Amino acid sequence: MFKKIDDGVKAVFESERYKEFLRYMSKFTNYSAGNCILIMFQKPDASLVAAFGKWKELGRTVNKGEKGIAILAPMTFKTKELWEQPVTDSKGQRVFNADGSEKKEKVEVEANSIGFKKVYVFDVTQTSGKPVPECAHELTDDIEPEHVDAVINAVSNAAGIPVEFEEIRSGAKGFYSFAEQRIVIKEGLSGAQAIKTAIHECAHALLHNPDKKLQTVESSRSDKEVQAESVAYIVALRYGLDTSEYSFPYIASWSEGKPLDQLNRFLNEIQETARNICNAIDTELEEVYEEQTEGECLGFAM
């Protein structure tokens, strides 16, 4: 299965499939990049996957004869290891050899190790039963101000720094300042553009903060832009925002010569960053929708 992931990573970067893969990742932000690859190559039309037990919790059953989609799940298991430790006498004093060296003995100890096991998930199209609850809130290009505010708050929470609107004379739509620890968005942008810019700059803050020990911190300036745009594309697509402006024409040349494990870590880091931003946005939007629903129930115009 790890071989399949490696082959999938090569296929993503060595063809025109990078943008297609990002589109796929936007559907499965809670899964690692490696598992996204496994799902994509086994069931390209998958849109919402879960384990057998999870579908049962949601009131759905897996249809008879359906073949599961194999992915990897982390697991902890105990191993026995031999550790060397000093020998002590009945008084707890260390014992020494005739040559003056410390006498040591090997003892067997239990240790926890992390590994992976194969598990199976099923796409919603392979199940029947109760309607699937809506998990994500779709935004349109004509976004209500309270939704824009909610996403900006989410970006600030995810990045851990303030997001401010200012006049930017350079022509840039926004920027992330590590020195000042803030994200700045150009005043006067449409709601949709402000959101996409904020997500892009949030990606910079999460991926390229020098204090973080991420592979992406050491990237060149052009590489950092590709990474931030990749995250912005995943998040914008997940919420139904227009993504036609996003383009990755140089991704094949960018990845050329880079070791496979580096490319794999790159995909996982942008996926994890997108997940963090999406989780923050979901939380903020849920609060807005709850307030709107309460207002409607009480007869208020929201």
Residue 262 lies in a domain: yes
pLDDT at residue number 15: 67
Residues 91 and 163 both lie in one domain: no
Instruction: Provide the residue range defining the domain that includes 246.
Output: 136-297
Domain count, the chain: 2
Q: Are residues 155 and 291 in the same domain?
A: yes
**Per-residue tokens: 201:** 């700059």
- The type of residue at 163 is V
* Torsions phi, psi for 212 (to 5 deg): -95, 145
- Which residue numbers in the chain have pLDDT < 50? 296-302
Rounded CA separation 76/166 (Å): 49
The pLDDT of residue 69 is 95
User: What pLDDT, on the 0 to 100 scale, is given for residue 38?
Assistant: 93
Q: What pLDDT sits at residue 61?
A: 94
Does residue 151 share a domain with residue 121?
no
For residues 174 and 288, membership in a common domain is answered with: yes
pLDDT given at position 256: 81
Task: Establish if 31 belongs to a structural domain.
Answer: no
Note whether residue 74 is domain-resident: yes
Judge whether 191 and 145 are in contact, CB under 8 Å.
yes
Structural domain contains residue 255: yes
* Confidence at residue 143, expressed as pLDDT on a 0 to 100 scale: 82
